A and B are shown apart, each in its own frame.
Chain A
Amino acid sequence: MTILIRNGRLIDPANHIDQLADIFIKNGRIAAIGEGLKDNGVDKVINARGKVVAPGFIDIHVHLRVPGQEYKEDIRTGTAAAVRGGFVGIVCMPNTNPVIDNVPLVSYVVNLAREQGLCKVWPTGAITKGSKGEQLAEIGDMKEAGIVAITDDGRPVTSSETMRQAMIYAKQFDLMVMDHAEEKAISAGGAMHYGKVSSMLGIKGIPSTSEEVQVARDVLLSLETGAHVHIQHISSRQSVALVRWGKQMGARVTCEATPHHFTLTDQIVADLNYSTDTKMNPPVREEADRLAIIAGIADGTIDIIATDHAPHHIDEKAVEYQDAAFGITGLETSVGLTVTKLVKPGIISLAQMVTMMSTRPAELVGLKAPALVEGAEADITIIDVDKSWTVKAEEMASKSLNSPFIGWELTGAPHATIVGGKLRMLEQQVIGE
């Protein structure tokens, strides 16, 4: 298949590109970049006039729910949601059933994704066996099978010593340790941010300190061990300050922010009247936290944007707030929220957005970053940055609909997603085989 992308604005800051040009794709690769390329015999021409053509976006925090929880999401629906959201690749979390802590399970996900996936899928492995926080999983073996990082997402490692050894061990395999920073002894029983809104609504709160003490621990352990630790879904102002301090101290610490943490505050729980689509972990916190996250995005303390896409079945959400599952979907609203909340207000440039959603996420997990250069694999995301649209449940490709953003008016939408030279999404429509 050959594709010609016409008249787009190419933005790829890693390769110092910001220009109007055409891109010709052939045999899965970028065959030519230039002005006025011929469309003779081209299978598909995409008119990208007025749109941004970027190296393909990668989300390194996705719950694909495979294996074991395919009733929430499966490879097909999860990757469909990804390409609909403009992502050419996703990194999936290992808190599945059973936990991805061994080679056969890693291979299962890799192979299934190769057969059924609409985008690229890279698994992560658990830090400890069964994510029980006791014995290290076979991290080296799993790396050979295809994992790109290890993480305890969803079930944080309680013991600081276990975490310390995991960092030392992972470092020799050049694997990043992703941490869902949460001190469970502090957060136990909580269902939303601990603050005046939780007081008002009578819901047990999750104090910011439950995240902060673990972020502080991780930063200090990273300083000691030299291991690369990545703080997932940073949620509090003090956590941002701790990461900033860690970077100043020379620690190999990076972190991500989700669109919901830079968009929402705990007030959403009251505004949506206990809707369980506002329940996620870590919770959205106060305006001062949201502003600190935005400042961290602006000054580079926060490296990347990731979604923590966490689909749940309606039966797990149509229950009492305190009993509902944590998590919201995010793949299909990430670009819209990022453009609306960060790019349009001038907090980051389009080039920074591309860096935070494509180049840096790839680098963090040790992948070759997508690039708009001749000869590179054709992983490309085209964005219509001025398009106004409404988030609609019936249009979602994900199997689950647990999003607090349904009904929101956003500016900026993914226009097309090209994965390895194949057109997987055009104008919000997912394209299968």
Chain B
Amino acid sequence: MPGLKRKDILGLRDMTTDEIDLILNTAETLKDIATRSIKKVPTLRGKAYCTLFYENSTRTAKSFELAGKYLGADVINVSASSSSVKKGETLLDTARNLEAMGLDALVMRHPAGGAPHMLARHLSCSVINAGDGMHEHPTQGLLDMLTIRQQKGSLKGLKVAIVGDIMHSRVARSNIYGLTKYGAEVWLAGPATLLPTGFEEFGVKVTTRVEEALEGADVVNVLRLQLERMEKSLFPTVAEYHKFWGVTPARLKLAKANALLMHPGPMNRGVEISSHIADGNQSVILEQVTNGVAVRMAILYLLMGGGEAA
């Protein structure tokens, strides 16, 4: 019987291609539910999960919420601003209390890398990482891979350029771990102060010249620039960033004519990406969002669908 032989989804680094294939294939099937007129199946009826977000999020939190609702699960949403975190409760206590209410899964976003790993060790319910600090954002990585796979058929041999603040990006890391498993050629481009150390050892190419990364690329994934990085002297001004690393129509022409343009959102238009191309015909940015719901449905189904894990 197929199925994920794991309790938690923490990151793509430790997942096999068989597991990723299962998730992506299931997502492709479940995507139909989200696009038909009756967007609900009873599969997870009687199951409950919680989205616990210690950072603001619209896209990911709502996508997880809808994904569960489409599958018939009950979902509660907790955000740090309204929770007992403000009263000084530890993360572990908050999570244990939520679990004690009978949850089958906990979907968490947290600013500390490794926070969901800690919870996974201490909780018996499934823990799904919805972004941990600058570590991983596995569902974003999966939805990006699903989008690329749908458009390009396969990931093998594709040149994928990831552009922007790689150092602080969990999206970049999950993409790197996922894509390299399938033999994609991953390029990272950004200012030297925003490039992580040592990534060449994971089989990716790293450059400070965005043109080099875009040249002949099949996919261009543009990351959001966190403007607060300026205060820590990691780059001087938005204008200089745009001049050297912004993905513009002219730079996108360096990529293949049928290259896909992706962005995990929310976009800073005119900073890391130009509006003309963000809304242009190479953009699959909204397709990413649609696939995000499907990927999250797949994960919720695969983790919560069965009975007691074998």
Contacts and interface: CB of A to CB of B under 8 A. Distances in A.
Direct contact of A and B (CB under 8 A): yes
A274 B90 contact: no
Contacts of B134: 202-204
A319 B91 contact: yes
Interface stretch (A101-109, A192-200, A250-258, A415-423): A192-200
Given A202-B173, A320-B112, A273 B117 contact: yes
A169 interface: no
B113 A321 contact: yes
Contact of B114 (A195, A199, A205, A321): A321
A318 interface: yes
A274 B167 CA distance: 19
A36 B209 CA distance: 79
Interface string B97-121: 0000000000000101111011001
Contact of B110 (A198, A199, A320): A320
Contacts of A319: 90-92, 118
A200 B202 CA distance: 9
A39 interface: no
Nearest to A205: B197
Contacts of B115: 320-321
A200 to B, nearest CB: 7
Interface in B123-178: 132-136, 167, 170, 173
A274 B129 CA distance: 14
Contact of B136 (A197, A202, A322): A202
A322 B113 contact: yes
Given A194-B197, A196-B197, A203 B117 contact: no
A195 B118 contact: no
Contacts of A199: 167, 196-199
B13 A200 contact: yes
Contacts of A195: 197-198
B18 interface: no
Given A203-B114, A274-B114, A274-B118, A318 B197 contact: no
Of listed B91, B114, B121, B173, residue having the most chain A CB within 10 A:
B114
Interface residues of B, number: 27
B118 A196 contact: no
B199 A196 contact: yes
A323 B110 CA distance: 12
A202 B166 CA distance: 11
Contact of A320 (B118, B197, B199): B118
A197 B113 CA distance: 12
A201 B197 contact: no
A205 B122 CA distance: 26
Given A202-B134, A202-B170, A320 B114 contact: yes
Interface string A306-331: 00000000010011111100000000
Interface string A383-401: 0000000000000000000
B88 to A, nearest CB: 12
B201 interface: yes
B199 to A, nearest CB: 6
Interface string A132-169: 00000000000000000000000000000000000000
A202 B132 contact: yes
A200 B115 CA distance: 15
A319 B110 CA distance: 12
Contacts of A322: 112-113, 133
Contacts of A321: 112-115, 118
Of listed B113, B117, B197, B202, residue having the most chain A CB within 10 A:
B113
B133 A202 contact: yes
A33 to B, nearest CB: 53
B135 A203 contact: yes
B198 A318 contact: no
A203 B117 CA distance: 13
B201 A196 contact: yes
Interface string B37-67: 0000000000000000000000000000000
Contact of A201 (B92, B118, B135): B135
Interface string B189-214: 00000001111011000000000000
Given A320-B110, A322-B112, A202 B135 contact: yes
Contacts of A274: 113-114, 117-118
Given A194-B197, A320-B118, A321-B118, A202 B113 contact: yes
Nearest to B176: A200
B106 to A, nearest CB: 15
Given A195-B198, A196-B199, A322-B133, A201 B113 contact: yes
A195 B202 CA distance: 12
Given A196-B198, A205-B197, A318 B113 contact: no
Contacts of B112: 320-323
Interface string A174-209: 000000000000000000001111111111110000
A197 B118 CA distance: 18
B46 to A, nearest CB: 32
Contacts of B122: 318
27 contacts: A195-B198, A196-B197, A196-B198, A196-B201, A197-B198, A198-B197, A199-B196, A199-B199, A200-B173, A201-B113, A201-B114, A202-B133, A202-B136, A202-B170, A203-B133, A203-B135, A204-B134, A205-B197, A273-B114, A274-B117, A315-B90, A319-B91, A320-B114, A321-B112, A321-B113, A321-B114, A323-B112
The 9 nearest A-B residue pairs measured at CB: A196-B198, A202-B135, A274-B114, A320-B112, A199-B196, A202-B113, A202-B134, A321-B114, A320-B115
Given A203-B133, A318-B92, 14 more contacts: A196-B201, A196-B202, A199-B167, A200-B13, A200-B198, A202-B113, A202-B133, A202-B136, A204-B134, A274-B113, A320-B110, A321-B112, A321-B113, A322-B112
Interface of A: 194-205, 273-274, 315, 318-323
